[in-house]
Amino acid sequence: MNPNQYQPVKAPRGTRITCKGWHQEAAMRMLMNNLDEEVAEDPRRLIVYGGTGRAARNWECYHAIVRALKTLENDETLLVQSGKPVAVFRTWPYAPRVLIANSNLVPHWATKPCFDELEAAGLIMYGQMTAGSWIYIGTQGILQGTHETFVAAGRKHFGTPDLAGRLVVSGGLGGMSGAQPLAATMAGATYLGAEVDPARVARRLASKKPRYLDESIPDLDKAIDRALDAKNHKQAASIAWCGNIVDLLSRLVGRNVVPDLLTDQTSAHDELNGYVPSGMSFQQAVELRGRDPAAYKQASYRTMAEHVRLMLKLQSMGAVTFDYGNNLRGKAVEGGFLPESEIRTPGPSIANRQSPIATWRYPGFVPAYIRPLFCQGKGPFRWVALSGDPKDIAETDRIVCDLFPDNTALVNWLRRAAAEIPFQGLPSRICWLGYGERDRAGLAFNKAVREGRISAPIVIGRDHLDTGSVASPNRETEAMLDGSDAIADWPLLNAMLNVASGASWVSIHHGGGVGIGYSIHAGQVIVCDGTPEMDERLRRVLLNDPGTGIARHADAGYDDAKLVARTQGVKLPMLEERSR
């Protein structure tokens, strides 16, 4: 990749399009938006977030994708293979304009060393979830989800969503992890976190509206003292210490300081290009990574093992501890420095895996807090104003508040987000909506575009971390009731159904969130261009997409999902037969 080819990227704004239709224009603007310097973590290297999650394989491929989209007809479909445009075929006007497959490997070869070799040869790229599928919206995307998770943990463990007087401790201040301090203080908590890269600390500290981070204290003990003082005064404050998370955790253990909530969001899914070993400065780590990758990986795995042991120690001292979706537990075992027996309790084997009862000694955030929402088809729904005009998002906020006035948490979130969260790149919004809600929002947005209340089309998408779109045994499908954690038919069915239902672009990825070998997941994006045709497509896609989540969870035996299926008319053949 030649960094000299770098030119800052910004998506066009306004209503004049340079592609042959709004669907192609939307894909192009969203690809460009993912690489906007306000949005991406490292745009020069096409890295959007999550370690090395890229929007295109290299700059040559990026420019070729843009050229292909500009000439793509309204009955053609562009195929993108791991960030490279590989073919254009004639399909149908209502078929997706782009189909994307990122990072997929045949299971026997779906290993990180194999992936690294293929990536070095320029044959594949890591797409994370919304990086390679062009629907990342910056830190706002994770802010609400993280806030929801902390609040849900508060409700479950302390009987209140108000975390005032509680200490939350975690690691990482990157693309996603950088949302943790603000998500915690929004819930009233005191936050103490470690981040090893001084530039990431500086970036979060520099953001004033909103304040992603309040303070950075160079001395470790003073940082801990400051956090304890804030906790004792029930002060919603966020404090960072620039250094390795294991050093922070071992000092907490040494001083007998027990966090109320303990988690981690360093890039542990990637032992080479994400996670940073202890015992060296960030600069030294970067130097070792380039000079001796094998030694780096060993050091990384060794640190992960220590990291997990410290989390277990703090858990035994009373900290509510959960995994926050970076596969730290799995990677620590994979590295060979942490015997599986230390982090998993033994259980009966189902299809060569552990018991479906949560066997990790500390649980993942999905089985702990999020699965009940997935059972209702709820997940992170997001949309972007292609006009670039913030007034268009203000109008969508009004529409959603009018549609769901009784959902006070949702209405409060939208008001707060509008007042406190500046947009990164194209104006966007996220909120969690469920089955039977997303289609109503989509149709209302499309009507508003048609009537000119919104000045240009809106794109609607979602995270791949959603109710029906992912198989990820150490995260979204951890500890499924029927032991079906590792079955990846579901995301493939989800993607195919989204194609059949009329999404604007659809993607299938491997390895998002938790790293190569650990997940398969799918994404869909659909454009509200105001036309009656899009009414039909929105109605189908935005019902069917979360509908696969209802089907997946009902099939696994979750009563909540069966109830939603029965009351909302999701047709599940064998469930219907059994209930007759």
Give residues in contact with ligand NAD (CB under 6 A): 41, 49-51, 142, 145, 171-177, 194-197, 200, 244-245, 265-269, 274-276, 324-326, 465, 513
User: Closest CB to ligand NAD belongs to which residue?
Assistant: 174
**Closest CB to ligand NAD among residues 40, 189:** 40
**Closest CB to ligand NAD among residues 457, 513:** 513
The distance of closest approach from Cβ of residue 379 to ligand NAD in the complex, given in angstroms and rounded to an integer, is: 11
**Closest CB to ligand NAD among residues 330, 427:** 330
Distance CA 204, CA 174 (A): 9
Neighbour tally for 447: CB within 10 Å: 15
Tokens found for residue 484: 């079906």
Distance CA 442, CA 579 (A): 33
The DSSP 8-state label assigned to residue 323 in this structure reads B
Distance CA 108, CA 193 (A): 38
The distance of closest approach from Cβ of residue 41 to ligand NAD in the complex, given in angstroms and rounded to an integer, is: 5
**Closest CB to ligand NAD among residues 115, 445:** 115
Of 446, 452, 435, residue with least CA distance to 550: 435
The DSSP 8-state label assigned to residue 45 in this structure reads G
Q: Compute the Cα dihedral for 90, 91, 95, 100 and give only its sign.
A: negative
Strands in 418-481 per DSSP E:
428-433, 458-462, 470-471
382's enclosing H/E stretch is strand 379-385
Which amino acid, one-letter code, is at 285? A
Sequence-separated (6 or more) residues with CB below 8 Å from residue 406: none
The DSSP 8-state label assigned to residue 178 in this structure reads G
For every residue of 91-156, which 3-state class applies, written as one string? Answer: CCCCCCCEEEEECCCCHHHCCHHHHHHHHHCCCCCCCCCCCCCCCCCCCHHHHHHHHHHHHHHHHH
The distance of closest approach from Cβ of residue 50 to ligand NAD in the complex, given in angstroms and rounded to an integer, is: 4
**Closest CB to ligand NAD among residues 513, 549:** 513
The distance of closest approach from Cβ of residue 155 to ligand NAD in the complex, given in angstroms and rounded to an integer, is: 18
Catalytic pick among 19, 242, 375, 431: 431
**Closest CB to ligand NAD among residues 275, 505:** 275
Neighbour tally for 14: CB within 10 Å: 11
The distance of closest approach from Cβ of residue 144 to ligand NAD in the complex, given in angstroms and rounded to an integer, is: 11
Angle of helix 390-403 relative to helix 408-420, nearest 10 degrees?
Answer: 170
The distance of closest approach from Cβ of residue 181 to ligand NAD in the complex, given in angstroms and rounded to an integer, is: 12
Angle of helix 59-71 relative to helix 22-34, nearest 10 degrees?
Answer: 160
Per the annotation, the verdict on 431 as an active-site residue is: yes
The distance of closest approach from Cβ of residue 14 to ligand NAD in the complex, given in angstroms and rounded to an integer, is: 30
199's enclosing H/E stretch is helix 198-206
The distance of closest approach from Cβ of residue 324 to ligand NAD in the complex, given in angstroms and rounded to an integer, is: 5
Strands in 146-189 per DSSP E:
167-171
* Catalytically annotated residues: 431
